[in-house]
Amino acid sequence: MLETVFVRLRLVLIAFAAVTGLVIVQLLRVDFGSQNVTYFRALSDEISQLSRDFEPARGHIYDRTGELMATNGVQYELGISPPYVVNREDVVNTLSDLLDMSAPAINAAIDSPDRYVLLQRPVSAAVGAKLKDLADSESVNLGGVDLTPFPLRTYPGGQVGAQVLGFVAYNSAGAQVGYFGVEGFYNDLLAGRSVHGIEQMVPFDVQLEPDPDQGADLYLTIDRDIQFLVENTLNSAMAEYGAEGGSIIVMNPRSGEILGMASWPNFDPNNYVTSPPTNPANPGVSGQYEPGSTFKVLTMAAALDAGIITPQTPFMDSGSVEVGGIIINNWNGGAWGPVDMQRCMQYSLNVCLASIATWLGPTNFYNYMLAFGIGHQTNVDLAAETPGHLKLPGDSDWFDSDLGTNSFGQGVAVSPLQLIAAVSAIANGGVMMQPHVLARVTDSGADHVTQQQVLGRPIRPETAATLTQMLVASLEGGEGSQALVPGYSIAGKTGTAQIPTPGGYDETETIASFIGWGPADDPQFIVLVKLDKPSSSIWGSETAAPVFSQLVQRLVVLMEIPPDNVRQALQAGN
Amino acid sequence: MIDTMRTNPTAPLLRAFREAPWRTQTQAVAVVSISLLVIAIIGGFYLTVASRAATAGRDLQRLEVQKTQLVQSNGELLAELAALRSVTRLAARAQALGYVAAQPEQIDYLRVAEYPWTAQTSAPPRAVTPPTAAPNALAQVANWLAQVLQGLVLGGPGQGG
């Protein structure tokens, strides 16, 4: 009896051992010996691991006072995993209500043999939130509906500062990329660095997700209040003067900080598909034009600095002068008789400035223009800057007559930023500062402040002071008097530039502009106003100059600049 | 053999006991049982550790999801706050409330010692910085204003007494 029990026990043991052996053999076969080992391992990895890039959050963009100008919101990708759909009716009814999709299309997605079917991308945050709420409330069964969040670049101010900021879109690889403006120029800084890693799905193997290098936060020199003022002023000017386009830039001549910059038409960085940027996206930096009489400031600066004239140097204006075989006339075709250099600027006499350029000679004249940065990029930290165009003696397209026409801003192309940077040298005692929009970078908790850089010293401080006084005097009672701001000393110059056409110059339309700075004895801002093809008047003195005045009257309030008498009294008391 | 039996009469019994088939099988069963027990204990330990690791992993997954949701939510709130503070909205709201933009002639200037004159021309300030303890003029004015506002809200120092 006892022996029979032992025999049975032995048989059970042998059976267990055999089963165990079979299991071990099978495990070894799967692990090492099976032809399917690759397949099984791949299948295991596919189920348990997800190889992907861990993307960092894109850095924020702030204005100079710390107000947020660009941040990250969320949007969703909505898809269906057909095998996991539990209640077809709930899914179809809910999605067809919330999305702009028909029930048959959703049914077709559910019937698909694929494991995942993309229904819509992007889906707004609001719709995503509604779907989540419905799923959480369990009033409907949305099993099989996949809602995957992904970042959405958001600009809280809407169009305010759009051309400076640029926008962000997804490239073909599915990565966020900045285009134009700060987003484009500082894309690498803002984007951070993604990390490639493996996300483990099996809880036993889960590890902490890798931490990618977050994008840096940028603090701009832009003041959003000034930016808003600039854009509002420009929009009003467009309507008031019937212009087709325009640009306004406000800069601090002492530091090169751009405080506000706008062009019209603008675009909406939140909806760049329906409201796309113009070409170029930021005409203030990327667009070029013939500046006309505002360029005379540079010619006069060169001549004063070279010592060939003084403000009192007499000039007999006969109404025309021949330079390089062409006859140059004044803007109104008239002759002003005996004048001095002060009057030349006050009446904006082409004949006078062309004569001055010939006195300077081409070498001197163009050396000064190059020193002012004409024909070269300012290297501002904004995407797609144009270098403008300055023909030089020796170039195949340069003729002797260009010396005369260039002196009053014809036959030379500049960007608005290039011109304001050049003229800022006169406002800033002969020192031209590097224009820039980045004030500070915060990266991984460390601050990096942008160092202000000198772009050049094209003229001596004495020349700058003399010319400033000339321009202050020429505005008062001159053709640019509408640019004056009560209580503040303003130096500036109007410009009315003809528009080049393939056969010469447009006879009817102009680019009206004004460039000025103040307070003249303590300059804290320099402003360029440019209006393209104003229809109410072709003259800069009647369009751009009053726009300048209107803008500066608000600008001094925002910048807390008291009227000259108050400021001087306060400074004297200190 | 006879001599041996004479000297140790219990030897055959002991030998028979040792060689009894049931005893040999009992030893084998005991060895297997102990082995199984050891394996079971080790397996138990392994299962406990694996279970804890899996629980921790699941917690980690949950926390990662939570972290992602919080970061996302934080971003949404930041964007919402920024939209509420946007200059476009504030300007429209101010206009709706009847405010107009100040003009230079509407402003009176006062001399305030240590006033930061070069607010616009100097390097931009930090975005969000805690108020410093330095008792400069601006801080004093701000403190005074805060006290006045607090007094207005609370209805003066006598309230609640």
Q: What confidence tens digit (pLDDT) does each residue in B87-104 have?
A: 999 999 999 999 998 888
User: pLDDT averaged over chain A?
Assistant: 91
- Give the residue among A247, A310, A315 at the shortest CA–CA distance from A283: A247
Pick from B74, B87, B109, B112 the residue to mutate for testing the A interface (most A CBs within 10 Å): B87
Q: To which residue do tokens 């801002």 refer?
A: A525
Q: Spell out the residues 6+ positions from residue A369 whose beta carbon is closer than 8 angstroms to its own.
A: A298, A302, A375, A390, A406, A412
CA-based nearest residue in chain B for residue A565: B109
pLDDT at B159: 29
The residues in A 180-239 lying below 8 A from B, measured between CB atoms, are: 200, 202-209, 217, 219-221, 223-225, 227-228
pLDDT at B20: 75
- Give the residue among A67, A71, A559 at the shortest CA–CA distance from B127: A67
The residues in A 456-515 lying below 8 A from B, measured between CB atoms, are: 485-488
pLDDT at A332: 81
pLDDT at A363: 96
Maximum distance among all alpha carbons in chain A?
A: 144
- Select the more confidently predicted residue: B73 or A163: A163
Predicted confidence band at A101 (pLDDT cuts at 50, 70, 90)? Answer: confident
Phi-psi map region of A197: left, alpha, beta (phi>0 left; psi -120 to 50 alpha): beta
User: Does position A454 have pLDDT exceeding 80, yes or no?
Assistant: yes
Residues A208-247 pLDDT 10s: 888 888 999 999 999 999 999 999 999 999 999 999 999 9
Predicted confidence band at B141 (pLDDT cuts at 50, 70, 90)? Answer: low
Pick from A223, A560, A571 the residue to mutate for testing the B interface (most B CBs within 10 Å): A560
Say what the alpha-carbon torsion angle B75, B78, B79, B85 is, to the nearest 10 degrees.
180
pLDDT at A287: 93
Alpha helix positions (H), A348-460: 350-371, 400-407, 416-427
User: Does position A155 have pLDDT exceeding 80, yes or no?
Assistant: yes
A572 touching B (Cβ < 8 Å):
no
Q: For residue B134, give the 3-state DSSP assignment.
A: coil
Q: What backbone phi and psi angles, to 5 degrees, belong to A17?
A: -60, -40
A/B interface, count of CB pairs below 8 Å: 137
pLDDT at B119: 46
**What single letter denotes the amino acid at residue A226?**
I
A153 touching B (Cβ < 8 Å):
no
pLDDT at B1: 47
Residue A207 CA to residue B53 CA, distance in Å, equals 11
A480 touches A545 (CB < 8 A) = yes
pLDDT at B120: 46
Most confident of A106-110, A274-278, B104-108: A106-110
Among the residue ranges A37-46, A170-179, A329-338, the one predicted with the least confidence is A37-46
A415 touches A288 (CB < 8 A) = yes
User: pLDDT averaged over chain B?
Assistant: 74
Inter-axis angle of helices B21-84 and A2-28, nearest 10? 40
Look at A440 and B123 and tell me if their CB atoms are within 8 Å.
Answer: yes
Label the pairing between strands A314-317 and A454-456: unpaired
User: Does position A308 have pLDDT exceeding 90, yes or no?
Assistant: yes
Look at B123 and A449 and tell me if their CB atoms are within 8 Å.
Answer: yes
Tell me how far the alpha carbon of residue A310 is from its chain's centroid: 41
Pick from A49, A64, A433 the residue to mutate for testing the B interface (most B CBs within 10 Å): A64
Residues B12-48 pLDDT 10s: 888 877 777 777 777 888 898 999 999 999 999 999 9
Predicted confidence band at A100 (pLDDT cuts at 50, 70, 90)? Answer: confident
Residues A380-392 pLDDT 10s: 999 889 999 999 9
Residue A58 CA to residue A218 CA, distance in Å, equals 11
Look at B88 and A560 and tell me if their CB atoms are within 8 Å.
Answer: no
Residue B50 CA to residue B35 CA, distance in Å, equals 22
pLDDT at B140: 56
Residues A13-66 pLDDT 10s: 899 999 999 998 888 877 776 666 777 777 777 778 888 888 889 999 999 999
B39 touching A (Cβ < 8 Å):
no
Label the pairing between strands A438-443 and A217-220: antiparallel
Q: What is the number of other CB atoms lying within 10 angstroms of the CB of residue B135?
A: 10
A157 touches A167 (CB < 8 A) = no
DSSP state of A319: S
Mean pLDDT of all residues in A451-474: 96
- Nearest residue, CB atoms, A553 vs list B29, B103, B111: B103
CA-based nearest residue in chain A for residue B110: A570
B131 touching A (Cβ < 8 Å):
no
Predicted confidence band at B105 (pLDDT cuts at 50, 70, 90)? Answer: confident
- Identify the H or E element spanning A454: strand A454-456
User: Does position B136 have pLDDT exceeding 70, yes or no?
Assistant: no
- Select the more confidently predicted residue: B139 or A354: A354
Three-class SS of A95-152: HHHHCCCCHHHHHHHHCCCCCCEEEEEEECHHHHHHHHHHHHHCCCCCCCEEEEEEEE
For chain A, the straight-line distance linking the first and the last C-alpha, in angstroms and rounded, comes to 120
User: Does position B151 have pLDDT exceeding 80, yes or no?
Assistant: no
